[in-house]
């Protein structure tokens, strides 16, 4: 296998395919994970996100392949230093205490106990270090699972639904925590079925629908796509209709009259339209905007299999 990898691309997922019975649950999934980037893996429940992640890690057999720094994961002598992963909470004996559990994981990874203690501080659980795993809340379990995944300081971090069970304060902590990791050069992949959640957490997003990646783009591009679907509703003096029609032609936005003095406009933001009308001395008696949510945009993308470039 070629050991040369594209600069800054730490993980290359190439044409993963997986079938359960007669149903194809992964249909040629390909995605790159870059150093310094938090990538959101988004799709409705059942879209294939967890199956993709497990196939990437070799936990499920699948056609295709995944390269970590140019090699299969099995080619690395210490894979825990290459990638760490957590699947919704922490896996361990319910009677084990948090600190002892992480010490055990550290021993298995060949790192000193102090690494576990450092991570307890980083995930904000030093005061909970003596709790049994069975006593942890869902949000605390998520943090312990994240610490477990990071025990060997891997180059790549994969978290499946990491914000599940977190309150808004904890989501803000997770965002800052992942940003710190990415700024240090880690490639981060987080999955979720909520695009609005990804807006807070991810730099880039890959949208999965029915086992296929139907869109992959920077978050800023996805937000711009949502903006383009916005409808600005205006009311104006009927005498100004020709002026507005001319403005639409010059600026390249669409104007659809809904009445003698009302119209729906797409292809321009409410703020820009207001400034242009002010410059032309065209008064607007009503100016409102119906902007689709990110969830609506996701449904549109998934339905149309729209490719953002």
The CATH number of whichever domain residue 270 belongs to comes to 3.30.70.1150
Residue 303 pLDDT:
56
Same domain, 79 and 31: yes
DSSP the chain: ------TTEEEEEEEEEEEETTEEEEEEEEEEEETT-EEEEE--TTSSHHHHHHHHTTSS--EEEEEETTB-GGG-S-GGGTEEEEESS--S-TTSBHHHHHHHHHHHHT--HHHHHHHHHHTT-GGGTTSBGGG--HHHHHHHHHHHHTTT--SEEEEESTTTT--HHHHHHHHHHHHHHHHTT-EEEEEES-HHHHHHH-SEEEEEETTEEEEEEEHHHHHHHHHHT-EEEEEE-GGGHHHHHHHHHHHT-EEEEEETTEEEEESS-HHHHHHHHHHTT--EEEEEEE---HHHHHHHHHHHTPPP-
216 and 263 share one domain: no
Mean pLDDT of 256-283: 92
Are both 116 and 191 inside the same structural domain? yes
**Does the pLDDT at position 257 exceed 60?**
yes
- Give domain status of residue 299, yes or no: no
Mean local confidence (pLDDT), 12-20: 94
Q: Does position 274 have pLDDT exceeding 90, yes or no?
A: yes
Average pLDDT for the chain:
87
Does residue 307 sit within a domain? Answer: no
- Counted domains in the chain: 2
* pLDDT recorded at residue 307: 47
Poorest-pLDDT segment among 33-42, 209-218, 279-288: 209-218
Q: Are residues 255 and 287 in the same domain?
A: yes
Q: The domain that contains 31 carries what CATH number?
A: 3.40.50.300
Q: Do residues 171 and 156 both lie within one domain?
A: yes
206 shares a domain with 249:
no
Supply the range of the domain harboring residue 243: 230-291
pLDDT range class, residue 210, cuts 50, 70, 90? confident
| pLDDT above 90: residue 148 | yes
Q: What's the pTM?
A: 0.79
* pLDDT of residue 68 exceeding 80: yes
Asked if residue 309 belongs to a domain, the reply is: no
Residues 214 and 234 in one domain: no
pLDDT in tens, 168-182: 888 888 889 999 999
């Amino acid at each position: 296998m070629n050991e040369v990898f594209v600069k800054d691309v730490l993980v290359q997922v190439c044409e993963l395919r997986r079938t359960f019975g007669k149903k194809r649950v992964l249909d040629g999934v390909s995605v790159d994970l870059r150093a310094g980037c938090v990538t959101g893996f988004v799709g409705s429940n059942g879209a294939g996100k967890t199956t993709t992640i497990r196939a990437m890690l070799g936990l499920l057999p699948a056609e295709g392949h995944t390269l970590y720094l140019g090699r299969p994961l099995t080619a690395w002598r210490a894979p825990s230093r290459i990638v760490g992963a957590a699947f919704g909470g922490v896996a361990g004996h319910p009677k084990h205490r948090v600190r002892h559990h992480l010490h055990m994981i550290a021993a298995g990874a060949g790192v000193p106990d102090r690494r576990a203690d450092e991570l307890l501080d980083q995930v904000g659980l030093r005061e909970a270090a003596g709790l049994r795993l069975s006593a942890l809340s869902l949000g605390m379990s998520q943090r312990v699972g994240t610490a477990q995944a990071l025990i060997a300081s891997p180059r790549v971090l994969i978290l499946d639904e990491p914000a599940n069970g977190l309150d808004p304060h904890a989501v803000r902590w997770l965002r800052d925590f992942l940003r710190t990791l990415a700024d240090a050069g880690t490639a981060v992949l987080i999955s979720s079925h909520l695009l609005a959640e990804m807006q807070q957490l991810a730099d880039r997003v890959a949208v999965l629908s029915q086992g296929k990646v139907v869109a992959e783009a920077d978050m800023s591009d996805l937000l711009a796509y949502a903006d383009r679907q916005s409808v600005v509703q205006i009311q104006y003096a009927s005498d100004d209709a020709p002026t507005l029609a001319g403005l639409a032609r010059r600026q390249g936005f669409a104007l659809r009259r809904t009445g003698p003095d009302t119209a729906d406009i797409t292809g321009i933001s409410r703020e820009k339209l207001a400034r242009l009308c002010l410059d032309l001395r065209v008064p607007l008696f009503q100016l409102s905007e119906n902007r689709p949510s990110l969830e609506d945009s996701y449904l549109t993308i998934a339905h149309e299999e729209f490719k953002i470039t």
